[in-house]
Amino acid sequence: MTNLALIASSTFSPNLWSDLRDMWQYSFMQHAFETGTVIALVAGIVGYFVVLRRLSFAAHALSHAGFAGAAGAVLIGINPLFGLLSFTSLGGLAMAALGKKAASRDVQIGNVLAFMLGLGVLFISLYKGYATEAYSLLFGEILGISTTNVFITIAAAILILLAVIVLYRRLLFTSLDEDVAEAKGISMLGMNIAFMLLVAVAVSVSVEVVGVLLIFALLVTPAAIAQQVTKNPRHGLIVSALVALIATWFGLFISYYAPYPVSFFIVSLVFATYLIVRLIKHLTAQ
Amino acid sequence: MKQLDSPNIVEAINLSAGYDSTNIWRDATFSIKSGEFVGLLGANGAGKTTLFRLLLGLELPTQGSLTVLGETPKRGNPRIGYVPQRHSIDSDSNIASIEYVRLGTFGNKWAFALGKKAKHELSQAHKALALVDASNLARRPLGELSGGEQQRVFLAQALVGKPDLLLLDEPLASLDIRREVQLIQLINNISKSTGVSVILIAHDINPLLPVIDRIIYIANSKVAAGKPAEIVTSKKLSELYEAPIEVLHSSSGRLAVLGVEEAIHHD
């Protein structure tokens, strides 16, 4: 019986506290909340800079590179997370070498993206195991996350958050004003490499929750919402992380009662929030 | 602002710039004194921005020597304020202008500024905006501002570190004549009141002529530098552009240069 089917039998009761206690009895739900929390924070924070740098498409392409890596790892029988991390990191380094051109190289990036997806499909078809592996990579499967991956994800998240704290002002400067930042002595290549590696790790861990195809849900939409609601970058980081966090928690909570994928609920929640924010902005601007 | 041992803010001797073995321009010898307002002119691709990159320490000269603020140019010199030429500002950018200004002097620091440090950063940024008469723009997103307003914010960003030398790359581009004159006047007032030396890249010399102390022309790989009265003559400019250039003197003693655009297009 899958985890999704196991919890699908749960019904909503007026006593939320009792429901939460029941939910917490399942170790996979505990893992999902623990991992989902750190991943949402990381994706919300790194995603804020992705949107500022107009690298949404590049980040999306990185997740496809990760898909090929993860499918290759599944094929040779190692942890897919390692395949994800290695392929996204290599892709990130290549994009860092492109610098600000990465944001405007849609065609080249699109070509690599399509090839990586094709490579992933080949690896999956060569794999003689279950089709659920492919499904998990494409759409996420946080309810099936292993204890090992919980630890790897938390360790990666702590490293990313520490790196963002240390690099914050330089990341912001190079995101908003590359020419002046360079004149002020900041190495653009160094910052591009550091940032794209952060994105690579953030993408890799986010794939566990929302999958390759829904990566925008955690990495781009919460940041886009934050940029609509605040002009202050520090507040923007907090809003972006909170939106990703609340959507992930609610997605997990709703999925406890409904037999549908968690990633669907997360995507729907952030998308609805984005629409509402845009609508309010549009109405208040008139 | 710090006092310099040498009165010259910039000193170039037989300076040449280029890529690989090709010189974009060569044998430039000039100096700029503290508090001077300098116009840097020439056609597109003549190498005006390259001179800025040499002054900023982002590129090395191919020949000759260059001294900036008493030392060899170095990357990240906090005593230089820089406004690059920005081709387009993201109109979706919702970041407040004050945040851009703040980055001008604190953007290359590590981590977050907290408590008193954060307040100090913010107060410096507000002072810089006040200096360019743009305090009202502090909370407005840069993407929503007009071209003239954006230039004021960029100017504040360059001034926030209280520089000794200000490098402005085509700040007048895309401004109408009225805003062009207003911005030049503002920059001149700041230069006179704070003592900061200014080098401003422009295409048209005419709006700059009433305020500049010195002029640098780059054309046909040659560089001519000096006081406007020495450089802005028909003979000198015609030699430089290798085409007929007229310099008119009005009854009030003002100069106007004609024919540069045609000479550039003819090239």
DSSP string, B124-191: HHHHHHHHTT-GGGTTSBGGGS-HHHHHHHHHHHHHTT--SEEEEESTTTT--HHHHHHHHHHHHHHH
What's the confidence (pLDDT) of residue A132?
75
Nearest-by-Cβ selection for A233 from B84, B99, B158:
B99
Mutate to test the interface with B, among A180, A225, A278 (most CBs of B within 10 A): A180
Nearest-by-Cβ selection for B141 from A54, A173, A231:
A231
In sequence order, which residues have a C-beta less than 8 Å from that of residue A82 and are 6 or more positions away? A73
A170 in B contact zone (CB under 8 Å): yes
Residue B261: inside a domain = no
- Packed helices A27-52 and A221-229: angle between N→C axes, nearest 10 degrees: 60
A183 in B contact zone (CB under 8 Å): yes
Max Cα-Cα span within chain A: 61
- Report d(CA A169, CA B103) in Å as an integer: 8
User: A219 φ, ψ to 5°?
Assistant: -90, -30
Q: What are all long-range contacts of B240-243, with beta carbons under 8 Å and residues at least 24 apart?
A: B241/B267, B243/B267
Residue B255: inside a domain = no
- Report d(CA B10, CA B3) in Å as an integer: 14
- Packed helices B177-194 and B147-159: angle between N→C axes, nearest 10 degrees: 10
3-state secondary structure (DSSP) of residue B199: strand
B229 in A contact zone (CB under 8 Å): no
Closest to B134 in 3D by CA, of B166, B174, B165, B96? B96
Chain A CB contacts of B94 under 8 Å are 227-228, 230-231
Residues B190 and B75 in one domain: yes
Residues B100 and B156 in one domain: yes
Nearest-by-Cβ selection for B107 from A165, A173, A228:
A173
Residue B267: inside a domain = no
Based on the structure, what is the number of domains in chain B? 2
**CA distance readout (Å), A223 to A22, A43, A47, A49, B253:** 33, 9, 6, 8, 58
The pairing of strands B8-19 and B63-68 is antiparallel
Last residue in a domain, options B144, B162, B180: B162
What's the confidence (pLDDT) of residue A130?
64
Give the distance from residue A250's alpha carbon to the nearest chain B alpha carbon, in angstroms: 28
Domain of B148 in residue numbering reads as: 91-162
B114 in A contact zone (CB under 8 Å): no
What is the ipTM metric for this complex? 0.90
Chain A CB contacts of B157 under 8 Å are 177, 180
Residues B150 and B40 in one domain: no
Residues B150 and B174 in one domain: no
CB atoms A180 and B104 under 8 Å: yes
Residues B58 and B173 in one domain: yes
Residues B34 and B98 in one domain: no
DSSP string, chain A: --HHHHHHT----S-HHHHHHHHHHSHHHHHHHHHHHHHHHHHHHHHHHHHHTT-HHHHHHHHHHHHHHHHHHHHHTS-HHHHHHHHHHHHHHHHHHHGGGGGG-HHHHHHHHHHHHHHHHHHHHH--S-THHHHHHHH--GGG--HHHHHHHHHHHHHHHHHHHHHHHHHHHHHH-HHHHHHTT--HHHHHHHHHHHHHHHHHHHHHHHTTTTTHHHHTHHHHHHHHH-S-HHHHHHHHHHHHHHHHHHHHHHHHHSSS-HHHHHHHHHHHHHHHHHHHHHHHH-
Mutate to test the interface with A, among B55, B95, B110 (most CBs of A within 10 A): B95
How are strands ordered across the β-sheet holding B8-19? B22-33, B8-19, B63-68
Q: Are residues B7 and B164 in contact, defined by beta-carbon separation less than 8 angstroms?
A: no
Residue B232: inside a domain = no
Chain B CB contacts of A231 under 8 Å are 94-96, 99, 139, 141
Residue B45: inside a domain = yes
What's the confidence (pLDDT) of residue A185?
93
- Report d(CA A169, CA A165) in Å as an integer: 9
CB pairs under 8 A between A and B: 87
B73 in A contact zone (CB under 8 Å): no
Rg (CA), chain A: 19
The secondary structure element, H or E, covering residue B120 is: helix B115-131
Residues B198 and B74 in one domain: yes
What's the confidence (pLDDT) of residue B89?
67
- Report d(CA B143, CA A129) in Å as an integer: 52
Residue B39: inside a domain = yes
- Report d(CA A185, CA B52) in Å as an integer: 14
Which amino acid belongs to residue B246?
E
Domain segments of chain A as ranges: 14-285
Last residue in a domain, options B123, B142, B162: B162
CB atoms A180 and B113 under 8 Å: no
Give the distance from residue A19's alpha carbon to the nearest chain B alpha carbon, in angstroms: 40
* Weakly modelled stretches of chain B, pLDDT under 70: 1-6, 87-89, 253, 261-267
CB atoms A232 and B99 under 8 Å: yes
* Weakly modelled stretches of chain A, pLDDT under 70: 1-10, 100-104, 129-131
Residue B198: inside a domain = yes
What's the confidence (pLDDT) of residue A7?
56
Class of domain A14-285: mainly alpha
The pairing of strands B165-169 and B80-83 is parallel
Give the distance from residue A286's alpha carbon to the nearest chain B alpha carbon, in angstroms: 15
What's the confidence (pLDDT) of residue B21?
75
Which residues does residue B12 pair with via DSSP β-bridges, in sequence order? Answer: B30, B66
Chain B CB contacts of A228 under 8 Å are 94
What's the confidence (pLDDT) of residue B266?
52
The tokens for B21 are 């073995």
What's the confidence (pLDDT) of residue B17?
96
3-state secondary structure (DSSP) of residue B23: strand
The gap between the terminal CA atoms of chain B, to the nearest Å, is 43
B89 in A contact zone (CB under 8 Å): no
Place of tokens 């990357």: B75
What's the confidence (pLDDT) of residue B265?
57
Residue B156: inside a domain = yes
Could you report the per-residue pLDDT of B199-251, keeping only the tens digit for each? 999 988 889 999 999 999 999 999 999 999 899 889 888 888 888 888 887 77
Q: Are residues A174 and A181 in contact, defined by beta-carbon separation less than 8 angstroms?
A: yes
Chain A CB contacts of B106 under 8 Å are 169
Rg (CA), chain B: 19
